[in-house]
């Protein structure tokens, strides 16, 4: 506990000079727009979860971890948005033509950081699963990326909602700078992975992979912008912009990125099939274009293995000759 005492003391002493986004009243159009965005984002993430689930067999087992990570991301985010929508609905009360926040309104905002603490590290798993990194280098890069992703979110959470309860400009600035360090590290790691994968991918696969990574890096720019809006301005318009922007960014960074990585996994599966490095029982189609023909795996049964052993024994064992046969019992060889 002694480790956290300075943190608690800092929380008490910080000046409270920012209005938290969840503590402002919303007009009826603003309320409806935010609620609409929350529901649409949740449904989009659920749709991507189902699509990835039913189409996981379209890629080889080598790249399937990317799809498993995508399903976890969309599943966690969907549950998060269900919670956010319910808390947003119960966190405001209509009074005098305005939706006034209640004590529960904070739960329509801060749980996003709990979602991101799980899903952003999983985005790193998804991105690396279709790269060309293997072995120890892949494990080391994945560890660095996942750790940086978690610390980026956690330190941002400290500034946005823990230190000063989201109302301290100085706390937000301090922890925002710390979070930005890990934010920049993630950019360096992902761009390094992209550069390292250039030679080992086909042009089509690399183009899709590059576009997916660039989409993720571009969408991520919104999150520090929203953090800054929280710190530098307030009001119903600012809260609406932040909430709607978060919903749009989550759809793009989770569902959109997942769909693009799925395509890269299919193209890489087709490339492996065409070069003989891998096999897949089904044809690989992308945008109604057949990239590779499926081939059923050869089944090795016990009967076929026994037959092969019989054939090998018949061909490898020399036939006995008269001179090599042992003498019959009771007869002596002639001299």
66, 126 in Cβ contact below 8 A?
yes
Instruction: Look at residues 102, 94, 98, 100 and name the one whose alpha carbon lies nearest to residue 27.
Output: 98
8 Å CB contact between 190 and 127: yes
| pLDDT given for residue 322 in this prediction | 53
- Which residues, including other chains, have CB under 8 Å from residue 155's CB and lie 6 or more apart? 175, 178, 179, 182
In this prediction, residue 313 carries a pLDDT of: 52
The pTM of the full predicted model, rounded to 2 decimals, is 0.82
Total count of residues recorded for the chain: 335
Distance of CA 313 to the CA centre of its chain: 53
Count of alpha carbons within 13 angstroms of residue 222, beta-carbon side: 17
Residue 279: how many CA atoms within 13 Å on its side-chain side?
A: 5
Compute CA distances 94 → 36, 106, 212, 234, 327, whole Å: 17, 17, 42, 20, 111
Q: Give the pLDDT confidence score for residue 288 in this predicted structure.
A: 66
Cα–Cα distance for residue pair 172/39, rounded to 1 Å: 29
Q: What Å distances lie between residue 199 and 103, 124, 136, 206, CA to CA?
A: 55, 21, 19, 9
pLDDT score of 297: 59
Q: Residue 292 phi/psi, 5° resolution?
A: -160, 150
Assigned CATH for 19-280? 1.20.1070.10
C-beta separation of 85 from 35 below 8 A: yes
The pLDDT assigned to 333 comes to: 52
What residue ranges do the domains of the chain occupy? 19-280
pLDDT along the chain (335 residues), means of 10: 43 62 95 98 98 92 96 98 96 93 93 97 98 95 98 96 89 95 97 95 96 97 94 91 97 97 94 77 69 62 51 53 54 51
């Amino acid at each position: 506990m002694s480790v956290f005492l300075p943190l608690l003391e800092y929380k008490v002493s910080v000046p409270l000079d920012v209005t938290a986004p969840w503590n402002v009243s919303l007009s009826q159009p603003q309320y409806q727009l935010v609620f609409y965005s929350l529901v649409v984002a949740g449904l989009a993430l659920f749709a991507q979860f189902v699509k990835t689930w039913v189409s996981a067999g379209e890629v080889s087992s080598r790249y399937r971890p990317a799809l498993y990570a995508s399903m976890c991301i969309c599943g966690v985010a969907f549950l998060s948005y269900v919670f956010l929508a319910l808390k947003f609905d119960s966190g405001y009360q209509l009074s005098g033509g305005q939706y006034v926040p209640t004590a529960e309104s904070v739960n329509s905002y801060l749980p996003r950081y709990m979602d991101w603490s799980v899903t952003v590290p999983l985005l790193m798993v998804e991105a690396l699963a279709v790269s060309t990194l293997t072995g120890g280098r892949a494990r080391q890069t994945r560890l660095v990326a996942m750790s940086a992703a978690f610390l980026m979110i956690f330190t941002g959470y400290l500034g946005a909602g823990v230190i000063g309860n989201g109302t301290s400009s100085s706390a937000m600035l301090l922890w925002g700078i710390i979070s930005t360090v890990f934010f920049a590290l993630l950019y360096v790691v992902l761009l390094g992975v992209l550069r390292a994968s250039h030679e080992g991918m086909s042009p089509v696969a690399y183009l899709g992979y590059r576009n997916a990574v660039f989409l993720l890096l571009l969408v991520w720019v919104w999150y520090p912008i929203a953090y800054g809006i929280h710190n530098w301005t307030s009001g119903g318009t600012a809260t609406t912009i932040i909430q709607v922007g978060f919903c749009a960014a989550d759809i793009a960074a989770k569902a959109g990125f997942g769909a693009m990585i799925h395509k890269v996994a299919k193209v890489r599966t087709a490339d492996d099939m065409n070069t003989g490095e891998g096999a897949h029982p089904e044809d690989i189609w992308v945008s109604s274009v057949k990239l590779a023909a499926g081939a059923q795996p050869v089944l090795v049964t016990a009967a076929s293995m026994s037959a092969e052993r019989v054939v090998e024994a018949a061909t490898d064992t020399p036939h006995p000759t008269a001179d090599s046969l042992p003498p019959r019992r009771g007869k002596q060889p002639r001299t």
